[in-house]
A and B are shown apart, each in its own frame.
Chain A
Amino acid sequence: MAASLNHSLFLQLRNEVQSRYSLTPTDAWLNEFVTTTRNRPVPLASLASTAHFRLLSSDFTVSLLARGPQVFPINVSDVQTKDTKLSNNIPVQVLEIQDISISKWSQIEAIERVERGEEIRGREVIRNVPGINDDDDVSANNDQASANAGRSSSRSTGQSTSIVTGSSKKGTTGPHKLLLQDAAGTKAWAFEMSRIEKITIVNLNPPLPGAREVANQPQPEGMQIGCKFLLKTGTNVRRGLIMLAPESVAVMGGRVEAWDKKWREQRKARLTQELEKEAAG
């Protein structure tokens, strides 16, 4: 039997992935991995690295062991618990990202601009279509000050916030609120307490109407849904909200392509819906 022949390799690999990456895959996942990559002998370290890479684009609720200390405590989302700390490293995946520093409306406006293939630099409207985009970097930032002058509280108007997020190339800077999920499938909200550079939403240009569906679509910059974090021991949780800071979370990267695609397709509709709900409430 292949599995028993490789049993020691199997155990070695599991230990390696565990110790190097703090991830414990299920036997089933690791078995599958070993059988599909067994073709030629490779050093253990590179095998572990490949396993790690695969795990990052997997669904943690399927690929990781959902037992033991590596999942959220049961009361993680309990708002009655004022202040607690995670007592273990916990690998999680991102199911949702929201920038709560800008209004939903200006986020919708920014998405629509990208849909129209436009980008705003200062006062200039730019056609953001592959092939037409001229790259002269005329920064209109100087004008922006005067464009904003005369508005009293600049950030509370829908207008000025959308200037900040107007560009499709620059991602959001947050703070963000994220929905995280552990291997057991437990979900909990997290807040970006101090800036973590890798957490950013970048609006993606839709394929041009009529253009062929390109197989090699450029990967979106910024964070994608299914991205993996390792929450470190000692991470603060207040009233059920996980407080993220650069020192308490390692962003491992990765994505689950199908989730990300769906999330992007539905983002505008979701924002619109929430806005309507808010208006009605």
Chain B
Amino acid sequence: MPGQKILCVAEKPAIAKAVAQHLAGGALTTRNIQGNQYVKNYQFTYNFPAWGACEVTMTSVLGHLTGLDFDQRYKHWKSCPPSQLFDAPTVTTIETDKQAIADNIAQQARFSRILFLWTDCDREGEHIGAEVRSQALKGNPRIQVKRAKFSNTERNHVIQAARNPIDLDERQANAVSARIELDLRIGAAFTRLQTLQLQALSSKLENQILSYGSCQFPTLGFVVDRYYRVRNFKPEVFWLIKVMHKRDNIKVNFNWKRVHLFDRATVTILFEQCLDAKLAKVTKVQRKPTSKWRPLPLTTVELQMQGSRFLRMNSNEVMAVAEKLYQKGFISYPRTETDQFSGDFDLRGLLRRQLTHPVWGAYAQRLVGGEFKQPRSGRNNDQAHPPIHPVTMAAPTVLDANEKKVYEFVTRRFLACCSEDAKGEATDIEIEWGLETFHAHGLVVLQKNYLDVYVYDKWESSQQLPSFQLGETFELTEANMTDGKTTPPSYLTEPELIGLMDANGIGTDATMAEHIQKIKDRHYVQTRTKAASGRNQVQEFIPTVLGVALIEGYDNIDLDVSVSKPFLRKEMELKMKAICEGRKTKNEVVDESLTQYREVFIKTQRDIDALKQSVTKYVVNEGRA
């Protein structure tokens, strides 16, 4: 068959294989490529509406194909003053182990008329697509370039994507190359400065790279900030009025509307005023239907937060497993900010695929059988991917332990989204005693609905409240003035840290877990399991002496904005967005951000003693002045 030749390139081998299998429909030839054992070339024919019957070669890369590094002359740590790295020439390199993959693409491109990119549809994927394109152009300068828009590897979805090619988004690719250049220059300059200056202070630091990253440091800053809040905390006594009334053999505790006050004399006087009144009066009896809302569709940040809360895995592990599940075709693309399903999304079709699951198949049946509810819509839509959802049913037997946990979470969440809210009846009773108000709250859960499948949420009936009549007066069974003490906040947990990073623009949903891992790897923080019961077993973060020393050191340098704060990085992140939206060019952004950080660098260099003193204080002298 004469047809045209088309070269398809995916971001990872598993995607290439899945897409090839769907398009080939069985008639598939697999070839190894020379020099790399993971990447394969799949050959088949396919009739694209746009291009007619084609001979297709489907291959892949392994993530980024190229890297950015300094020119040879600047690579050695002592080759130049670190400040020169802000403008030292850079080169785009191909790592030796990826050369074979690059060659394969150039080779295949030579005979192809069209390059059809199947990299993931997000910023990184757009950039990887651009990397692949420049390799392909080496083999064939006239090759035409298109990309597929897809967010999972389910068959119909893949075929839709194959039939509707779009263009590569240059802006997104540019945003990534801006970020790569900034991370390289800023990271290398500060890392060399810190490491060279601080390593010499103590033999304890001899073999340690004191890396700096514009995301790493604000991340560490959050951990240290909380650590100090815990450490500096001073407990205080407060006073409160506690009242209890026993009726129908039920003890009802009423809570003081003022909760508690930090002034003993005042509470004493208020309590006396109550006692003088003798009788309490019922001022409000309200029964009303209440509900607990089903969760929103699942985003990456939410998956990481809830995963590290409920699955006994850290966010990095959760993301790695989700990635594997995606590559195996079980779940949709796990990097998404979208928390709304579009109206035409075939939710029922996805539910039907879960009917045979041994654990929640029956629940899925309930939904398909009529209990289905259109999911709630959140406020975010990245216009690239739908919320994370199960694509096909994965029997427990085909998954390993961690895959099972993540797949279960994703699926239960999806089922919960398509369910009815939990329904209950709330009872509120308010009484006035003297001039003070107290209230009791009761809850009866009537229909669990989504809670039947979403075992991570808790909503339980309280004790049954006896009946009280509006306006009735009675003498309270028990009333006391008691005291209590404020308790310190707890150390930062992983879900909290992710929440802070997300709210403050530190990293993207795709990289947050890596930054957290990095500050662990660098021994800036340690984690330990927070004492808690049941499913809820989270990691909490405590900075090491080194972590504290670095943050305090930077905070002591007279900077407008310390690098331990999220502000500078957040600005940079907003600029990336500006590139994507066409409001700024890559060069503008790189120049602006480098100017900002260069200024911080010069001040840091000038005040390096502040950093040295701090490291000496905490690391060398172990906290003794």
Contact = CB atoms under 8 A, between A and B. Distances in A.
A100 B536 contact: no
Interface string A246-267: 0000000000000000000000
B330 to A, nearest CB: 27
Interface in B232-286: 233-234, 236-238, 258-263, 265-266, 268-269, 272-273, 276
A150 B485 CA distance: 19
A123 interface: yes
Contact of A156 (B258, B435, B484): B484
A239 B264 CA distance: 13
Given A147-B496, A241-B269, A275-B234, A175 B261 contact: yes
Contact of A105 (B233, B499, B500, B503): B233
Interface string A99-110: 011111100010
Given A123-B504, A124-B503, A238 B237 contact: no
Interface in B187-210: none
A9 interface: no
B46 interface: no
A157 interface: yes
A122 B503 contact: yes
Contacts of B499: 123, 143, 146-147
A146 B485 CA distance: 24
B565 interface: yes
Given A155-B259, A175-B261, A241 B503 contact: no
B489 interface: yes
Nearest to A155: B259
B256 to A, nearest CB: 11
A158 B263 contact: no
A27 to B, nearest CB: 39
A239 B267 CA distance: 12
What's the interface size class on A, roughly? Answer: 35 or more
B70 interface: no
B567 interface: yes
A150 B236 contact: no
Nearest to A124: B503
Given A123-B499, A278-B237, A100 B262 contact: yes
A177 B261 CA distance: 11
A60 interface: no
Contact of B503 (A123, A156, A238): A123
B79 interface: no
A125 interface: yes
A239 B262 contact: no
B262 A101 contact: yes
Contacts of A146: 499
Contact of B261 (A100, A109, A143, A279): A100
A241 to B, nearest CB: 5
A268 interface: no
Contact of B486 (A147, A150, A157, A175): A157
A119 B518 CA distance: 28
A239 B273 CA distance: 10
Contacts of B488: 157-159
A279 B237 CA distance: 10
A105 B499 CA distance: 24
Contacts of B536: 150
A103 B238 contact: yes
A127 interface: yes
Main secondary structure on chain A at its contact with chain B?
mixed
A98 B435 CA distance: 21
B487 interface: yes
A72 interface: no
B272 A275 contact: no
B262 A127 contact: no
A156 B487 CA distance: 7
B446 interface: no
A238 B272 contact: yes
B262 A158 contact: no
B307 interface: no
Interface in A71-130: 82-83, 98, 100-105, 109, 122-125, 127
Interface in A39-80: none
A125 B262 contact: no
B238 A156 contact: yes
Nearest to B499: A123
Nearest to A274: B236
Interface string B214-247: 0000000000000001000110111000000000
B486 A156 contact: yes
Contact of A104 (B262, B265, B500, B503): B262
A103 B262 contact: yes
Given A105-B233, A109-B229, A278-B237, A159 B272 contact: no
B566 interface: yes
Contacts of A279: 234
Contacts of B272: 82, 238-239
B362 interface: no
Contact of A123 (B260, B261, B484, B500): B500
A191 interface: yes
A193 interface: yes
Interface in B507-542: 536
Nearest to B379: A142
Contacts of B399: none
B561 interface: yes
B188 to A, nearest CB: 27
B261 A159 contact: no
Contacts of A11: none
A241 B234 contact: no
A175 B258 contact: yes
Contacts of A3: none
Contacts of B503: 122-124, 140, 143
A105 B561 contact: no
A103 B236 contact: yes
A127 B236 contact: no
Instruction: Give the one of A100, A124, A140, A147 with max B CB within 10 A.
Output: A100
A102 B566 CA distance: 28
B236 A278 contact: yes
A100 B485 CA distance: 14
Interface in A162-210: 175, 177, 191, 193
A224 B297 CA distance: 48
B258 A101 contact: yes
B260 to A, nearest CB: 7
Contacts of A104: 234, 236, 262
Contact of A275 (B236, B260, B269): B236
A102 B487 contact: no
A279 B234 CA distance: 8
Interface in B346-389: none
A109 B265 CA distance: 25
A224 B536 CA distance: 47
Nearest to A158: B486
Instruction: Give the one of B266, B273, B489 with max A CB within 10 A.
Output: B266
A147 B492 CA distance: 11
A83 B233 CA distance: 39
B266 A156 contact: no
Contacts of A150: 536
A83 B504 CA distance: 53
A101 B566 contact: no
Contacts of B502: 123
A245 to B, nearest CB: 9
A241 B266 contact: yes
Contacts of A103: 236, 238, 262, 486
17 contacts: A100-B266, A123-B503, A125-B566, A125-B567, A143-B503, A147-B496, A156-B484, A156-B486, A158-B486, A158-B488, A158-B489, A159-B229, A159-B489, A177-B266, A239-B269, A241-B269, A278-B236
Across the A-B interface, give the 3 residue pairs with the lowest CB-CB distance, nearest first: A159-B489, A123-B503, A100-B263
Given A146-B499, A175-B261, 15 more contacts: A98-B263, A101-B259, A103-B486, A123-B500, A123-B504, A124-B504, A125-B567, A143-B503, A156-B238, A156-B484, A156-B485, A157-B486, A157-B488, A159-B489, A191-B266
